[in-house]
Chains A and B, each alone.
Chain A
Amino acid sequence: GDSVTQMEGPVTLSEEAFLTINCTYTATGYPSLFWYVQYPGEGLQLLLKATKADDKGSNKGFEATYRKETTSFHLEKGSVQVSDSAVYFCALAKTSGSRLTFGEGTQLTVNP
């Protein structure tokens, strides 16, 4: 079945550091790919998404490119802030509105 694998956390960075959180997936066909962010004690918020190969999703300085050849959707940000501290989930869906399959989540802590 479909699955999503994220790099293990937790990840701890200093403010203004470069962030990469790796995400790879296994799925048939051409799924839509997502990154969600969860702040402490809250639900999930959609951070960005890409629906076809080579698409780049971007939001709030975060970017991820849908790489079909490597089945990856790595999340990057050039300069993290303390407010970016949260858990980040990579996810896929057969289509944009169908059920989501989540990765394990990666805890990010950014220190001042």
Chain B
Amino acid sequence: GAVVSQHPSRVICKSGTSVKIECRSLDFQATTMFWYRQFPKQSLMLMATSNEGSKATYEQGVEKDKFLINHASLTLSTLTVTSAHPEDSSFYICSARDPRGDTIYFGEGSWLTVV
């Protein structure tokens, strides 16, 4: 079964509102989680690296005030898309590092549609 779970799997929100996506490690404590964005038929783009108890490290070109990442516990990281616009519509995927085997597991992904 899945060891990393994302919720919701699909969400539709109105333009200008904020939406939160959760990423949970179910079977291990993840000190590091990663957030990716994937456009249709394209590869994954790393948005940020989330470290438990500290600020996320954002990739160049990613607006940290728009994509708020919180990693408040060892099993949960959240991505909040603030003041969403239609161009934020995308597939967002998280991954978490299992320190026991130094393996990265991916969540199922979350489809965000902003209307």
Contacts and interface: CB of A to CB of B under 8 A. Distances in A.
Interface residues of A, number: 19
Contacts of B69: none
B44 interface: yes
B67 to A, nearest CB: 17
Chain A interface mostly: loop
Contacts of B32: 97
A99 B49 contact: yes
A104 interface: yes
Contacts of B43: 89, 102-105
Contacts of B97: 97
Nearest to A90: B43
A83 interface: no
B54 interface: no
Nearest to A91: B44
Interface of A: 36, 41-46, 89, 93, 95-97, 99-100, 102-105, 107
